[in-house]
Amino acid sequence: MSDTLWTFADFLAATGGTLEGATGADVTGISIDSRTLSAGNAFFAIVGDRLDGHAYVKGALDRGAAVAVVERDRVKDAVTGPLIVVDDTLKALENVGRAARARTSAGIVAVTGSVGKTGTKEALRLTLSRSGAVHASQKSFNNHWGVPLSLSQMPQETAYGIFEIGMNHPGEITPLVDMVRPHVAIITTVAPVHIEYFESEEAIARAKAEIFFGVVPGGTAVLNRDNRHFDLLASLAREAGIERIASFGEAEDADVRLLKLAAKAECSCVSASVFGQELTYKVGAPGRHLVDNSLAVLAAVHLLGANLALAGLALAEFAPPSGRGARHTLWLRDGKATLIDESYNANPVSMRAAISLLASSEPTRPGRRVAVLGDMLELGDDSQDLHADLAGPLMEAKVDRVYCAGPEMRALWEALPNGRRGAYGEKSSEIESALRSELMPGDVVMIKGSAGSKMTPVAEALQKRFARPTEKNV
């Protein structure tokens, strides 16, 4: 692909703004963060809840931005350089995103769901890249600025575009999917996530179903046949005008059906029927949830006409995104331990999946299974019960020690037998010292919690403290 993402003329037209100053150079990328901006990028001065991008326009231009997109009357006269002036910078970013979508002939996939969005998006990136040039959302850029930013960065020559769409309130998906306009819309599953903002789990399903409103004519909805909301989602898809509904799961009538599964500590070996074609493949990371999502991925690959056999081979190379199951070796003084970093986020469904993953991981003597858990947030009135209910799965998984952080996790701490308790703290930082001092060679340690519970710093601290010794230290 060319280094030019947008000619300056096309970019100016896409924003809907007016030029002030000299004409800028062709645009090589889109940025809303001056700290990570590369020379040739267009900088959008987004007005956020905490920061106003207009304060960083001069710095962006000094770093080589091709142009800055600014709102009227927000930039001081002292700022010089090519500027595109608009009424609303976020709206201008959306305009560029829509223009990027309109100019491409790529097959487009949109992914939403209560859990598994980012992993599914990354698996789609991996598998579809075997059949053509792929563009996908960065990280978890799935909200009101992340989706248009990801769209605006899509090259015209893209063969497959993959976009993650998130929400925690009703009505948030509709405007996002209206920009993406997918050929294939995937809902990984529906679970009680962000339940604080919804009347019921069914209300969450209805909010997820907003993704159907943007599907292009002739497009397909891909739904989890094993989820209890399948019939509701299928009905809502038809109401939205989608004629083709494809299903995945273990159910006998699933279009992409799991036939056999051999779960191993480092991977999963799978046999599946993909629209009648049997395929055997390996998922290169452990976890039943990843197997289920791989079925959705293969459904999308088939529906877009990409190479299914190459996609199956590619799944062997799948590695979990950061904070979503990546494994790290901890080099202790007398041996090694294993860290499973699930610290990116948490809800009752993903927490149980992570506990199951820990259960399938065998410690080496004298090691133990160790769970380090932070609060699951936005669970509403049932939060205490949902936390306490984790005691059962932890016992079934034969977890030897549990460390809990956060006020909500106190309910789990009190539900645990004394012999299983490691340490408790109101904040994640309060359990770090006890965790570090009690680690043993052979331990398998799984860390998980909602982003707001700040479990990622705990995982990072362990990796830093127990990094592989250099030759000087050996």
Over residues 250-276, the pLDDT tens digits come to 999 999 999 999 988 789 999 999 999
CA distance 348 to 387: 8
CATH of domain 8-89: 3.40.1390.10
Q: Per the CATH hierarchy, to which homologous superfamily does domain 326-472 belong?
A: Mur ligase, C-terminal domain (3.90.190.20)
- What is the value of pTM for the model shown? 0.84
**Helix orientation angle between 201-208 and 230-239, rounded to the nearest 10 degrees:** 40
Mean pLDDT in order along the chain per 10 residues (474 residues): 86 96 93 94 93 93 96 78 94 98 98 93 97 92 93 98 93 96 97 79 95 98 97 98 97 97 90 98 92 97 98 95 85 94 90 92 93 94 94 96 97 96 96 94 96 94 90 43
The CATH class for the domain spanning 104-317 reads alpha beta
pLDDT for position 391: 97
pLDDT for position 378: 86
Q: Which amino acid is at 318?
A: F
pLDDT for position 193: 75
Residue found by looking up tokens 């339940």 in the block: 195
Dig out the tokens for 390 from the structure. Answer: 């984790």
Q: Could you give the residue range(s) of every CATH 3.90.190.20 domain in the chain?
A: 326-472
pLDDT for position 78: 60
Q: Could you give the residue range(s) of every CATH 3.40.1390.10 domain in the chain?
A: 8-89
Residue found by looking up tokens 């041996």 in the block: 335
Dig out the tokens for 408 from the structure. Answer: 């909500």
pLDDT for position 2: 54
pLDDT for position 151: 97
Q: Could you give the residue range(s) of every CATH 3.40.1190.10 domain in the chain?
A: 104-317
CA distance 340 to 371: 10
pLDDT tens digits along 399-437: 999 999 999 999 999 999 999 999 999 999 999 999 999
